[in-house]
Amino acid sequence: MNSPAVEVVDLIKRYGRTTAVDGLTLSAGLGAITAILGPNGAGKTSTVEICEGFRKADGGVVRVLGLEPGHRDLPARVGIMLQSGGVPPAARVGEWLRTTARFYARPLDPGTLLERLGLTAHARTPYRRLSGGQQQRLSLAGAVVGRPELVFLDEPTAGLDPQARHACWEVVEELRSCGASVVLTTHHMDEAERLADHVVIIDRGRVVAEGSPCALTGAERQLRFRARPGLDLDELLAALPVGSTAKESPSGHYIIEGHVGPELLATVTAWCAAEGVTADDLSVERRTLEDVFLELTGRELR
Ligand SMILES: Nc1ncnc2c1ncn2[C@@H]1O[C@H](COP(=O)(O)OP(=O)(O)OP(=O)(O)O)[C@@H](O)[C@H]1O
């Protein structure tokens, strides 16, 4: 069997008294997109930067394409997109990407990549004059131009407009279809749901759940609707089949879980009618990855 693209076992990283990564174990499959999710400060960047060879671990084992991070063969095989920086401020967009491409044996065409990421008109612009989103797109181009076997993307679409996010997703999906492995961190649950084959949720330096987006969200469905805040949910629950749950979160948004079928739907709408409540946006949906994420990691700010 092929070994994974990235394997992390019992990883520990401390900064003084802070244990940022606390016995974390994960593996990112070959040819797959693995998304690492977690609240601020969960240890995502620390973990990824250890895999990239930028930081030293305090314990555990990490293998990247079967090699130790920092191994001299890795730069030619691995692309890295950092959260910021990585391009000299005075470097002109087109020139920098062409120069970067020359380090690799079989690079992608820099001009095509600039076109795909909407940077052609800025080819002669120095990096420091680009907007934040344009800088981000150039960093992505730099990470993939060498046709890497594995690419690490740290929050690749943070701060990008919707058009740029979609362009970025297409580039990442194309990488996978060419057989590359992708490890990305993100705070966008929709991004993970759309792109990832495997999602790893980490909190306080440990893995709290992992699986495909479908496996994590499960087959269970929810009934959701909007109505005036403060409905009497105990009364509604009394009318619902045993085993149902009802919550208002946030104010004026209601979520009913349990055996969501025609009977439950009819009961909820009949109850609303009897109470003179108009249920807006009534829908039956699967739980989202965001629901699962908040359940696992809580709602307090970090
Ligand atoms: N260089 C550092 N020195 C001291 N503490 C650090 C350092 N880098 C990170 N930390 C701490 O380690 C913990 C994990 O940080 P890390 O950046 O890995 O989290 P993260 O999941 O990437 O967060 P975010 O989503 O906010 O980017 C945090 O408590 C952070 O304050």
pLDDT tens digits for 27-78?
999 999 999 999 999 999 999 999 999 999 999 999 999 999 999 999 999 9
Tokens of 206: 């440990």
- Reported ipTM exceeds the 0.95 cut: yes
Residue nearest to atom 25 of ligand 1 (CA): 40
Q: What is the pLDDT of residues 90-120, one digit of tens each?
A: 999 999 999 999 999 999 999 999 999 999 9
Contacts of 5 (CB under 8 A, 6+ apart): 28, 29, 30, 31, 32, 34, 64, 65, 149, 150, 181, 183
Residue nearest to atom 28 of ligand 1 (CA): 41
Q: What is the pLDDT of residues 147-187, one digit of tens each?
A: 999 999 999 999 899 999 999 999 999 999 999 999 999 99
Cα–Cα separations (whole angstroms), residue 235 to 238, 265, 275, 296: 5, 16, 10, 28
Cβ–Cβ < 8 Å for 97, 110: yes
The yes-or-no verdict on residue 1 having pLDDT over 60 is: no
Question: How far, rounded to the nearest angstrom, does the alpha carbon of residue 170 sit from its chain's CA centroid?
Answer: 15
Residue nearest to atom 4 of ligand 1 (CA): 15
Domains of the chain: 1-77+148-164+174-213 (3.40.50.300), 78-147 (no CATH), 219-286 (3.30.70)
- For ligand 1, the distance from its centroid to the CA atom of residue 43, given in whole angstroms, is 6
* Pocket around ligand 1 at a 6 A CB cut-off: 15, 18, 20, 38, 40-46
Which one-letter amino acid corresponds to residue 149? E
- For ligand 1, the distance from its centroid to the CA atom of residue 224, given in whole angstroms, is 36
- For ligand 1, the distance from its centroid to the CA atom of residue 38, given in whole angstroms, is 12
Q: What is the reported pLDDT for 63?
A: 98
Residue nearest to atom 12 of ligand 1 (CA): 20
Q: What is the reported pLDDT for 299?
A: 66
* CA 259/CA 249 separation, integer angstroms: 20
Please report, rounded to a whole number, the percentage of residues in the chain having pLDDT higher than 90: 86
- For ligand 1, the distance from its centroid to the CA atom of residue 276, given in whole angstroms, is 50
Q: What is the pLDDT of residues 257-271, one digit of tens each?
A: 988 888 899 999 999
pLDDT confidence tier of residue 193, bands split at 50, 70 and 90: very high
- CA-42 nearest atom, ligand 1: 21
Tokens of 111: 């001009």
Averaged pLDDT of the chain: 93
Q: In terms of Cα–Cα distance, which of 199, 244, 260, 250 is closest to 227?
A: 250
